[in-house]
Amino acid sequence: TGAISSLQRQMEIQESELRRIRSEKELLQKQLREREVQLQAVSDKFCSLTEEQRQEEAVVAMEEENQNLQQVVREQEFQLAEQNKLISELQGTISQLQAEVVTTRLHLLEQKQAQKETQSQFEALQHTELQTRVALELISSKFERYRNKIIQATFSVEGIQDPQGELTDDEVLEAMQKLFNERTEFQQMLKNKSSR
């Protein structure tokens, strides 16, 4: 946005300069027309003089005036050419600034679109995270209930001492393994007894 404002200010300055130069160009063209009118008036005056007056007075005056006017015309034509060149350069600069404004705005639109997509992805990830947390809490709750049932079943067997405080998973596994081994040994003993 700052880049666009800067470019627009530059465009306004260039357009103001362009208007000033065009105004000066119009003034020069007006002065040129006035000089042409003066030249025409001198020519008309020269035509209206008598033959003797032409020879004696008007010829010298007209030559001087004509030279002056031609010099002024050359100078003004040179100024007009310079201003036309400057106008062309300013128009090129304005066109370039306008293109930069369009490019900057397009870039901003792309950034906004990318930001919107990123925000959408972020919200989707937040939703997924929430679902995962809920599922994890549910699984943790089920696991804890299952673990408690295992502990209850394992330590409710006769001959197994009640746990002292909170048990680790390894201690629960060790107690189950001990119970399993004792059952296996007992079944083996019964087998041996029955075979005898």
Q: What is the mean pLDDT of each run of 10 residues along the chain (196 residues)?
A: 78 85 88 87 72 66 82 87 87 89 92 94 94 94 87 71 73 81 85 77
What distance in Å separates the CA atoms of residue 83 and residue 29, rounded to the nearest whole number?
12
Q: What share of the chain is helix, strand, coil (3-state, %, to 5)?
A: 90, 0, 10
Q: Contact, 39 vs 136, CB < 8 A?
A: no
Residue identified by tokens 């946005």 is 1
Predicted confidence (pLDDT) per residue in 74-107, tens digit? 888 888 888 888 888 888 888 898 898 899 999 9
Print the domain residue range for 158: 126-194
Rounded Cα distance between 76 and 28, Å, is 6
Do residues 24 and 48 share a domain? yes
Q: In this structure, are residues 76 and 32 in contact, taking their beta carbons and an 8 Å threshold?
A: yes
Structural domain includes residue 119: no
Mean pLDDT rounded to a whole number for the chain? 83
Query: Do both 76 and 140 map to the same domain?
Result: no
User: Residue 123's pLDDT is what?
Assistant: 95
pLDDT score recorded for residue 108:
92
CA distance 96 to 91: 9
Residues 136 and 106 in one domain: no
Do 106 and 130 fall into the same domain?
A: no
Q: What is the pTM of this model?
A: 0.42
Please check whether residues 97 and 36 belong to one and the same domain: yes
